[in-house]
Chain A
Amino acid sequence: ETGVTQSPTHLIKTRGQQVTLRCSSQSGHNTVSWYQQALGQGPQFIFQYYREEENGRGNFPPRFSGLQFPNYSSELNVNALELDDSALYLCASSSGRGGIYGYTFGSGTRLTVV
């Protein structure tokens, strides 16, 4: 079975630009969550999608948005990038019970905003 795949692995953007990060869920998983991990910190929950609907959101502004597609892959979009958006963005998938049984994580996208 394939795991969670994220692309790109690294990205450099300029302040004010927009960025799209992509995630392919593990086969059979219908739920995807996105986390932001700043340097030296633990991951922070951004939002979760279940069957193409947003199913929970953390304390992030509306310029962080997402999509989940019928094949359960997902995108994270960030508009009007700020320097503090520089972080590792992790995608995690589960079969709908990740909060109970745990998630499968990808290796993340390292975003640098300059």
Chain B
Amino acid sequence: AQTVTQSQPEMSVQEAETVTLSCTYDTSENNYYLFWYKQPPSRQMILVIRQEAYKQQNATENRFSVNFQKAAKSFSLKISDSQLGDTAMYFCAFSNFGNEKLTFGTGTRLTIIP
């Protein structure tokens, strides 16, 4: 069974600073997909960034980027120039190719301090 581990329950950082959230996963599959979702107090899960395991290049979306280390099964999220609106729960998630189910970690609560 696939598992996703987020070892940082809570983090805080000053506005405009950079923060990195950690995620590790366990799978025996070779073809899979990784995601970071943001859940603000409104409760809606919002897709932040995704990574295809067969791609070597790390995904980037504006201020958000990932460090994908396939051999180490690590998938960290870097938020640059953090903003107050980045305050939320962040969940790392995994899916196997051909399986539409997402497996989530337990989340990291990120607080951006003004």
Contacts and interface: CB of A to CB of B under 8 A. Distances in A.
Interface residues of B, number: 27
Contacts of B95: 99-100
B101 A56 contact: yes
Contacts of B44: 3, 105-108
Interface stretch (B13-21, B64-72, B76-84, B103-111): B103-111
A4 B37 CA distance: 16
Contacts of B43: 88, 90, 107-108, 110
Interface residues of A, number: 32
Given A99-B95, A105-B44, A106-B44, A43 B101 contact: no
Nearest to A58: B101
A33 interface: yes
A45 B44 CA distance: 16
Given A45-B102, A58-B101, A105 B96 contact: no
Interface of A: 3, 31, 33, 35, 40-45, 48, 50, 55-56, 58, 88, 90, 92, 94, 97-108, 110
Given A94-B100, A99-B33, 9 more contacts: A33-B102, A55-B100, A99-B97, A100-B52, A100-B95, A102-B47, A103-B102, A105-B37, A105-B46
